[in-house]
Structure 1
Amino acid sequence: MCGITGWVDWSKNLSKNKETLKAMTDAIEHRGPDAEGFWLKDHAALGHRRLIVIDPEGGAQPMVYQIGEDHIALTYNGELYNYLELRDELLAKGHDIKTNSDTEVLLHAYLEWDTDCIRHFNGIFAFGIWDERQDRLMLGRDHLGVKPLFFAEREGQIIFGSEIKSLLSHPDVEPEVDTEGLAEVFGLGPMRTPGKAVFKGIQEVRAGHFMTFSENNSSDEKYWMLKSKEHTDDVETTVNTIRELLEDTVKRQLIADKPLVTMLSGGLDSSGLTAMAGKEFREDSKALSTYSIDFVNSEADFEEDFLRRDLDEPWVNRVSEHVGTNHTSIVLDSDKLVDHLLVPMRARDLPGVGEIETSLYLLFTEMKKDATVALSGESADEVFSGYPWFHQEEYLDADIFPWLMNLGNMGGILKDDIQEKLQLKQYQKERYQEALEEIPELEGETGMEAKQRRMSYMFITRFLPFMLDRKDRASMMTGFEVRVPFCDYRLVEYLWNIPYEMKRIDDIEKGILRRAFADYLPEDVRYRKKSAYPSTKDDEYLQRVQRWMLNVLDDPDSPILSLIKEDVVREIAEGRHPGIDGSRAKGLLDYLLQINAWLKEYQIRINL
């Protein structure tokens, strides 16, 4: 995994602009702490920060191929899990591939198939290719959007990078937010609209898309999409297909020249992947290492609720013993969580979900001490329809995204004139309607099944990107790569058309996945009820963020004061608000503290 950046200007010679390119590249040094690279020539400048995972000697970037006097230059972030097959295919076609890196395979795939190369890839990737033969830039992103890629168009220039901070390091990109940007922040929270980056004039290459830019035109092409068709496989065939796809995916994603581990929560998803990976390790006479997260006094503080049924650690130990892993539990306290609250915001360049993101970052920080790569169970709930909302009429019939119904109305804390300008409820409905219009409906499907298909689309295309953003930024902030086998596009395509009732076979969420893991996990682990990502229940955490918020309110220079009703937020921070307390208060204060720091640290100009 790496960080990429660069820009193209058809009206200028950029070969002398290394200082700007280096600033853009330095901004994402954390994504690639092992090496840096630059390529500047005429109208293009490409930068790269490298995290070495495969082929330490042969994968240096930007990678350049020369045809006559023309150069084709690549800066690339990600992994191609089918690169060995592609390498063989390209060699058979006469390509001279000198290294063992997937980077060179990607470059030669472009030389062979031009922009259609992206249709040959199975992996997680974001890349930029400058082709001097056509004076054209190509930007491409993987099927589900695991790897990030942002761009800005400025007066005949295209400026791009893995993270927004890289673009903001270019002198022509200013940190400005307009009405739509603030509506994203307060109306949708961290679950951004695909393609939007909150900052005015900065956009995101959408998942499953590639874009091309030349001097006089540009194009945006969707190369992959979900297609609806009748699922004709019986239950046994479906179970076997899921198992075979996961086995193949895990095997591919274990390829690395650096130490690889897995994340283990004791839940179905991470446990199943750990068991599959552990089997591969044992066959190679190795022991797999696993990591989990816990909190000080978690057992004493635990309270069962709708999202969290029981503690993870007993199940973590059960799975670790069953698979035979070397397990490490990372235990965090409230002080560490609060002290690092703003780090994920700086990683994301946008406010996030607070303590839940902070703990993930701290977990990766510890894992990085022993490894460079990890497998994660992320996205199984989204692609297997594992959330309770899939069978609850209240959410299936809503006119906004279901997760927003649980967050409450952020507009209530905004000043009246800001509320009037942002129109948050209307903004939420419009973004939801846009998503509805994209859905590939199945002809003849009606009633509950049609509603569940719509819900599935929302989670795959609107909620999952947030989860992937969270994991990418939290891990790459520490120079650590996390792979997500459940995001293999072949698996997602297959699952898309499985009826919800079959996914929920045995009257339990993700029942079909539980059956697929039958040969890998004990029955009690397979049928453990879903429990959400853990969160601290320590009262000290809430008290500390309350005090922090009060300090923000008492500082007349706090930029957030121009947006919020101070009296309402003060009530929340003092624990006096009649409707917002406990975990809701904690989440809201986490978010507001991040917004204030974001506005201040990034020196954002608000233009309403």
Structure 2
Amino acid sequence: MCGISGWIDWKKDLSNQQEVLKKMTDVITHRGPDAEGFWFSKNAAFGHRRLIVIAPEGGRQPMVYCQDGFTIALTYNGELYNYRELRQELEAKGHAFTSLSDTEVLLHAYLEWEESCVKHFNGIFAFAIWDERKSQLMLCRDHLGVKPLFYTETEDGVIFGSEIKVLLAHPSVQAIIDQEGLAEIFGLGPMRTPGNGIFKNIKEIRAGHYATFTAHTRTLKPYWQLQSRQHTDDVETTVETIRTLLEDTVKHQLISDKPLVSMLSGGLDSSGLTAIAGQEYREKGETLQTYSINFAHDEQDFEEDFLRRDRDEPWVQKVSAHVGTTHHSIVLNAEDLAANLYAPMRARDLPGIGELETSLYLLFTEMKKHATVALSGESADEVFSGYPWFHQAQFLEAGTFPWLVNLGFVSGILKEEWQERLQLKAYQRRRYQEALLEVPHLDHEDEWHRKQRQMSYMFITRFLPFMLDRKDRASMMTGFEVRVPFCDYRLVEYLWNVPHELKSIDDIEKGILRRALKGYLPDDVRYRRKSAYPSTKDQDYLKAVSQMMLNVLDDHESPLLQFVKVDRLLRIAQGEDQEITGAKAKQLLDYLLQVNAWLKEYNIVVQI
């Protein structure tokens, strides 16, 4: 995994812009602490930071190929899991390789198929290609959007990078937020609209899309989309197909020249991946290392809530013993979480969900001490319809993004003038209706199945991108790569058409996955009910963030104060509000503290 940066200008000579490009690339050193590289031509400048995972000697970037007197340059972040198969196919077509890296395979795939090359890839990736023959820049992102890629257009060119901070490091890009950006921040929160970079004029390549830019043309095209069709496989075939795809995906994603471990929560998703990977390791005579997160005093503090039924730790130990892993439980306390609250915000360049991101960042910090790569169960709930929201009528009938039903209280803290100006309810409805129009419905589908398909689409295209952002930035901030087998596009497109009642067979969420993992896990683990990523229940954490907010409110220069009802927020921080208390107060304070720090640290200009 790596970080990429670049700048195209069709009028300005960039061959002497080393200082600017180095500054842009240096801000993502964390994404690639092992090496750096730069390439310049008259109209293009590419930067690269490398985290070595595959082919230490052969994957140096930017990678350049000269053909008929013209140059094709590549800067690339990610992994092609099918690069060995692709290499064989390209060699049969006459291509010669000088390294064992997937980077060279990607470049030669472009030489063979140009923009259509992406239809041959299976992996997680974000890349830029400058084709001097066409004087064209191509930007592309993987099917599900696991790897990030942002860009902004200038009068005569394009500036791009793995993270927003790359663009902001360029002297011509300002940190401005306009009315739409504020509506995203206060109306949608971290689950932003796909393609929206929040900052004015900053955009993101959407998952499954590529863009091409020349001096006179701009195109943005999808190369992969969910397609609805009748599911004709019977139960046994469906189970076997899922099992076969998972086994193949995990096997490919275990390829690494650096130490690889697995995340293990004791839930179905991570336990299943751990069991499959553990078997592969045993066959090689090796032992898989696993990691989980736990909180100090969790045994006495734990309380069941809407998303969390029971504690993870007992299940973690059971799965580890069953699979035969060497397990490491990372224990965090309230002080750790509060002290690092802003680290994920700085990693994502945007406010996030507080301690749920902070704990992940601290977990990766510990894992990086012993490994470079990990497997994670992200996206299983989205594609197998595992979240509680899928199974309750109030969310299916909500007429908005289901997660906003319980998380829409941020907007009520805004001053009346901002509520009137931003019209957040209307903004949420508009974005929801836009998403509805994208859903590829199946002809003659009844209303209940239509709503389940809509719910799946919302989670895959609106909720999952945030979860992947969270995982990518928290891991890459520590120079650590996380792979997500459930995001294999073959599995996602297959499950898209599996009916909800089949996904939930045996009257339990993700029942079809539970059947597919038979033989890999004990039955009580396979049929453990869904329990979400853990959240601390330690009251010391709520006290800590409450005090942090009191400090913000006491500072008249805090940029947050221009937006919020100070008296109401003061009551919440003091624990005196009647409506927003406990977990709700923690969520709100976590988020608004980050909004304040983000506005301040990034010197954001509010432009309405």
Please classify the TM superposition score into its range, dividing by the shorter chain length.
over 0.9
Letter in 1 for 2:199: F
- 2:378·2:484 contact (CA, 8 Å) conserved in 1? yes
CA distance in 2, matches of 1:445, 1:68: 54
- Offset at residue 411 of structure 1 (A): 2.1
**Paired position in structure 2 for 1:150:** 150
CA distance in 2, matches of 1:275, 1:18: 48
Q: Deviations over 1:38-93 (max 9, x none)?
A: 00110000000000000000000000001132110000000000000000000010
CA distance in 2, matches of 1:541, 1:397: 35
- Offset at residue 390 of structure 1 (A): 1.4
**Paired position in structure 2 for 1:365:** 365
Letter in 2 for 1:253: Q
CA distance in 1, matches of 2:606, 2:11: 31
The equivalences for 1:510-525 within 5 A come to 510-525=510-525
Letter in 2 for 1:180: E
CA distance in 2, matches of 1:306, 1:116: 44
**Paired position in structure 1 for 2:194:** 194
Q: Structure 1 stretches (4+) deviating beyond 3 angstroms?
A: none
**Paired position in structure 2 for 1:328:** 328
Letter in 2 for 1:444: H
- Offset at residue 415 of structure 1 (A): 1.1
**Paired position in structure 1 for 2:450:** 450
- Offset at residue 307 of structure 1 (A): 1.4
CA distance in 2, matches of 1:15, 1:566: 51
State the SS of the aligned residue for 1:54.
coil
State the SS of the aligned residue for 1:406.
helix
CA distance in 2, matches of 1:562, 1:388: 36
State the SS of the aligned residue for 1:210.
strand
The equivalences for 1:78-89 within 5 A come to 78-89=78-89
Structure 2: 5+ residue stretches without partners:
none
CA distance in 2, matches of 1:241, 1:69: 48
CA distance in 1, matches of 2:592, 2:390: 30
CA distance in 2, matches of 1:308, 1:404: 18
Letter in 2 for 1:243: R
Letter in 2 for 1:400: T
**Paired position in structure 1 for 2:7:** 7
Q: Deviations over 1:104-145 (max 9, x none)?
A: 000000000000000100000000000101100000000000
Letter in 1 for 2:593: L
**Paired position in structure 2 for 1:301:** 301
Letter in 1 for 2:237: T
**Paired position in structure 1 for 2:581:** 581
CA distance in 1, matches of 2:392, 2:536: 28
- Offset at residue 98 of structure 1 (A): 1.1
- 2:275·2:323 contact (CA, 8 Å) conserved in 1? yes
Is structure 2 residue 173 aligned with structure 1 residue 166? no
Q: Deviations over 1:423-458 (max 9, x none)?
A: 000000000000000000000001211110110000
CA distance in 2, matches of 1:503, 1:323: 25
Q: Deviations over 1:366-404 (max 9, x none)?
A: 000000000001110000000122132211112210000
Q: Deviations over 1:547-596 (max 9, x none)?
A: 11011001011011111110011011011111000000001000010000
CA distance in 2, matches of 1:407, 1:273: 31
**Paired position in structure 2 for 1:70:** 70
CA distance in 2, matches of 1:91, 1:75: 22
- Offset at residue 19 of structure 1 (A): 0.3
Q: Deviations over 1:182-237 (max 9, x none)?
A: 00000000001000010000000000000000000110011000000000000000
- Offset at residue 156 of structure 1 (A): 1.2
**Paired position in structure 1 for 2:274:** 274
State the SS of the aligned residue for 2:407.
coil
Is structure 2 residue 227 aligned with structure 1 residue 227? yes
Aligned residues: 608
Q: Deviations over 1:252-284 (max 9, x none)?
A: 000000000000000000000000000000111
**Paired position in structure 2 for 1:601:** 601
Letter in 1 for 2:111: L
CA distance in 2, matches of 1:303, 1:219: 50
The equivalences for 1:159-558 within 5 A come to 159-558=159-558
Deviates more, 1:490-499 or 1:298-307: 298-307
CA distance in 2, matches of 1:237, 1:596: 52
Letter in 2 for 1:448: W
- 2:372·2:480 contact (CA, 8 Å) conserved in 1? yes
CA distance in 1, matches of 2:389, 2:359: 26
- 2:125·2:146 contact (CA, 8 Å) conserved in 1? yes
State the SS of the aligned residue for 1:138.
strand
- Offset at residue 519 of structure 1 (A): 1.5
Identical residues among aligned pairs (%): 70
CA distance in 2, matches of 1:59, 1:291: 29
CA distance in 1, matches of 2:279, 2:411: 51
CA distance in 2, matches of 1:326, 1:391: 36
**Paired position in structure 1 for 2:96:** 96
User: TM-score, normalization: structure 2?
Assistant: 1.00
CA distance in 2, matches of 1:255, 1:170: 36
CA distance in 2, matches of 1:381, 1:408: 22
- Offset at residue 409 of structure 1 (A): 2.8
**Paired position in structure 2 for 1:141:** 141
Letter in 2 for 1:10: W
RMSD across aligned C-alpha pairs, in angstroms?
A: 0.6
Letter in 2 for 1:135: S
- Offset at residue 503 of structure 1 (A): 0.3
Q: Deviations over 1:149-173 (max 9, x none)?
A: 0000011120000000000000010
CA distance in 1, matches of 2:275, 2:540: 37
Letter in 2 for 1:315: W
CA distance in 2, matches of 1:292, 1:409: 31
State the SS of the aligned residue for 2:521.
coil
- Offset at residue 243 of structure 1 (A): 0.1
- Offset at residue 308 of structure 1 (A): 1.1
**Paired position in structure 2 for 1:56:** 56
- 2:307·2:388 contact (CA, 8 Å) conserved in 1? no
Is structure 2 residue 105 aligned with structure 1 residue 123? no
Structure 1: 5+ residue stretches without partners:
none
**Paired position in structure 2 for 1:568:** 568
Letter in 2 for 1:27: V
Letter in 1 for 2:16: K
Is structure 2 residue 35 aligned with structure 1 residue 35? yes
CA distance in 2, matches of 1:351, 1:396: 28
Letter in 2 for 1:324: G
Q: Deviations over 1:288-336 (max 9, x none)?
A: 0000000000001011222111110110000000000000000000001
CA distance in 1, matches of 2:275, 2:551: 48
